[in-house]
């Protein structure tokens, strides 16, 4: 069985069918690019995987765990969805950094909030234990928790700084998003998504909102992540990048997967008419 398995995703908005039965699978460590013209359903697919939209039909399995099963998913509690979401990271086209926090806090905010929840649970379980075990005193609980908190906080802080180093933003640690260029902001967004250690990192057209001269630095970071064997799904318009970096390319059109295969198969030997005309159109555009 594959690492990620998506079966028959369908999604309708009002009366428009955006996804018409999408199925594909990904192996661990693979980088998959999803290409296709706008309106083909790429972004919706990504949003469904991240539980920002709920598909009308379909199944999703990750690492042997059934994450999504229609129609039960519609009845799931918000807290369950939240923990499921954490399997994925998502980098948006428009960065969506939190403007009131500096770069470091943008990266650490979510891990710290998760830590808070964890500490609450820990406290609860220790208090349960106190009822039966006399060696567990109030002072002991307090000490254990504060030690745990300190340790984890330090860990989160160190992780964040490492991630910023990796994305080349160490000198921007205490800057605010409004002081950064688009490329820098997107790199912060990548660091922020990685801070939660997702199993799969998704990119929704990560360079579309950037000036051409800034796309390079973002693509470079993504390439470096490939070298770490991260599993990634990238919705992109950068064909050259898709060709070079992906292990697998999926071509979508009108809500269906028209062709998928290695970059070589897709770009050098397209079979379907739709893919052929898509590639020719792109080429023409580049030549203008």
230 binds other proteins (CB under 8 A): no
Q: Can residue 167 be called a binding residue for other proteins (CB under 8 A)?
A: no
Does 82 help bind other proteins (rule: CB under 8 A)?
A: yes
Q: How far is the CB of 95 from other proteins (least distance, A)?
A: 8
Binding mask 180-219 toward other proteins (x if CB under 8 A, else -) reads ------------xx--x-----------------------
Q: Does 114 bind other proteins (CB under 8 A)?
A: yes
- The answer to whether 208 and 237 have CB atoms below 8 angstroms apart is yes
The answer to whether 72 and 59 are in contact (CB under 8 A) is no
Stretch that binds other proteins, among 37-45, 80-88, 222-230, 247-255 (CB under 8 A): 80-88
* Binding flag, residue 67, other proteins (CB under 8 A): no
Taking contact as CB under 8 A, which single stretch among the options 79-87, 124-132, 149-157, 242-250 is the one that binds other proteins? Answer: 79-87
**Using the rule CB under 8 A, which residue among 92, 203, 267, 278 binds other proteins?**
92
Site map 18..57 versus other proteins, x via CB under 8 A? --------------------------------x-x-----
- Under rule CB under 8 A, residue 224 binds other proteins: no
Answer for which of 83, 137, 272, 281 binds other proteins (CB under 8 A) is 83
The single residue listed with the structure tokens 């970096």 is: 245
């Amino acid at each position: 069985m594959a690492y990620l398995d998506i079966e028959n995703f369908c999604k309708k908005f009002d009366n428009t069918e955006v996804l018409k039965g999408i199925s594909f699978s990904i192996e661990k460590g693979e980088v998959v690019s999803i290409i296709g013209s706008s309106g083909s359903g790429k972004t919706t697919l990504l949003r469904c995987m991240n539980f920002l939209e709920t598909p009308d039909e379909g199944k999703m399995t990750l690492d042997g765990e059934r994450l999504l099963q229609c129609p039960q998913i519609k009845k799931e509690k918000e807290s369950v969805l939240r923990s499921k979401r954490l399997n994925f990271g998502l980098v948006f086209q428009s960065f969506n950094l939190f403007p009131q926090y500096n770069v470091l806090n943008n990266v650490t905010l979510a891990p710290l909030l998760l830590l808070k929840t964890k500490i609450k649970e820990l406290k609860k379980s220790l208090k349960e234990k106190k009822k039966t075990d006399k060696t567990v005193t109030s002072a002991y609980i307090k000490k254990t928790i504060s030690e745990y908190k300190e340790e984890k906080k330090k860990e989160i802080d160190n992780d964040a700084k490492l991630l910023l180093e990796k994305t080349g933003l160490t000198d921007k640690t205490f800057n605010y998003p409004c002081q950064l260029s688009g490329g820098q902001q997107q790199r912060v967004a990548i660091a922020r998504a990685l801070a939660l250690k997702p199993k799969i990192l998704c990119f929704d057209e990560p360079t579309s909102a950037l000036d051409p001269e800034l796309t390079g630095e973002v693509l470079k970071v993504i390439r470096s992540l490939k070298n770490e064997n991260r599993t990634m799904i990238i919705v992109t318009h950068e064909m050259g990048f898709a060709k070079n970096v992906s292990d697998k390319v999926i071509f979508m059109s009108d809500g269906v997967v028209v062709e998928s295969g290695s970059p070589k198969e897709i770009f050098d030997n397209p079979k379907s008419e739709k893919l052929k005309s898509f590639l020719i159109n792109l080429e023409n555009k580049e030549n203008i």
